[in-house]
């Protein structure tokens, strides 16, 4: 079976939208510089582009989570593979995620981090697939709303492949 890639969001379009998100975030957080929490691995490219457009000082930490089951069918059980290096108590925390699909991962993460008593807790996601939700979840900032298609590139993978693509593409399985 061969796989074909169809670009649905070009690198230029992504860059422009990431710059707009950074403007908005810089404005909202100018009084209280945030701690950015990047969810590994898919959000690393988004994080690194986003933070270079920000006009406020930020700190960064990383978390790795995994849902049991296959990558294309989230099971809803979330496991923390790597936790934060520091306490977030009293901090203004902004979770940086690549994509919200069923909402299960971020729903869990937001509850988990909220229990650590940050001063504020928001979520920025580059992509949102609202038609796939299993639990209600509204990101505070969102780059693009996309239809129910499996996408790769710009950090997003299929079986750990395609993360390095500069554009976001739909993966078509050909006969």
Task: Confirm or reject binding of residue 47 to ligand IMP (CB under 6 A).
Answer: no
Could you say which of 9, 35, 100, 123 contacts ligand IMP (CB under 6 A)?
Answer: 100
Q: Which of 98, 101, 128, 167 is catalytic?
A: 101
Stretch that binds ligand IMP, among 9-17, 53-61, 83-91, 92-100 (CB under 6 A): 92-100
Active site residue 49: no
Could you say which of 88, 105, 123, 167 contacts ligand IMP (CB under 6 A)?
Answer: 105
Q: Name the residue nearer to ligand IMP (CB basis): 34 or 103.
A: 103
Tell me which residue of 111, 88, 78 sits closest to 37, measured CA to CA. 88
CA–CA gap between residue 110 and residue 17 (Å, rounded):
24
Place of tokens 């690393």: 44
Task: Confirm or reject binding of residue 167 to ligand IMP (CB under 6 A).
Answer: no
Q: Name the residue nearer to ligand IMP (CB basis): 26 or 66.
A: 66
Tell me which residue of 161, 157, 158, 123 sits closest to 142, measured CA to CA. 123
**Buried/exposed 43-81: b ≥16 CB within 10 Å, e otherwise:** bbbbbebbbeebebebeebbbebebeeeeeebebebeee
CA–CA gap between residue 166 and residue 175 (Å, rounded):
26
Could you say which of 25, 109, 123, 151 contacts ligand IMP (CB under 6 A)?
Answer: 151
Could you say which of 103, 118, 143, 155 contacts ligand IMP (CB under 6 A)?
Answer: 103
Structure tokens at 152: 């790769």
Question: Which sequence positions are flagged as catalytic?
Answer: 101
Residue ranges in contact with ligand IMP by CB under 6 A: 42, 74, 97-105, 150-152, 156
């Amino acid at each position: 079976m061969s796989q074909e890639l169809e670009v649905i969001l070009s690198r230029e379009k992504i860059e422009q939208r990431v710059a707009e998100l950074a403007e908005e975030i810089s404005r909202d957080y100018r009084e209280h510089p945030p701690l950015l929490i990047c969810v590994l691995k898919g959000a690393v490219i988004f994080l690194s582009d986003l933070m270079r457009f920000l006009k406020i000082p930020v700190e960064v930490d990383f978390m790795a989570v995994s849902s049991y089951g296959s990558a294309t069918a989230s099971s809803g059980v979330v496991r923390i593979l790597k936790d934060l290096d520091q306490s977030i108590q009293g901090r203004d925390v902004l979770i940086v995620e690549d994509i919200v699909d069923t909402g299960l991962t971020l729903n869990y993460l937001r509850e988990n981090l909220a229990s650590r008593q940050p001063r504020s807790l928001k979520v920025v996601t580059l992509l949102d697939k609202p038609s796939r939700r299993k639990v209600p979840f509204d990101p505070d900032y969102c780059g693009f709303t996309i239809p129910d298609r499996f996408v790769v590139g710009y950090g997003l993978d299929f079986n750990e492949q395609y993360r390095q693509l500069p554009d976001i593409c739909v993966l078509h399985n050909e006969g």
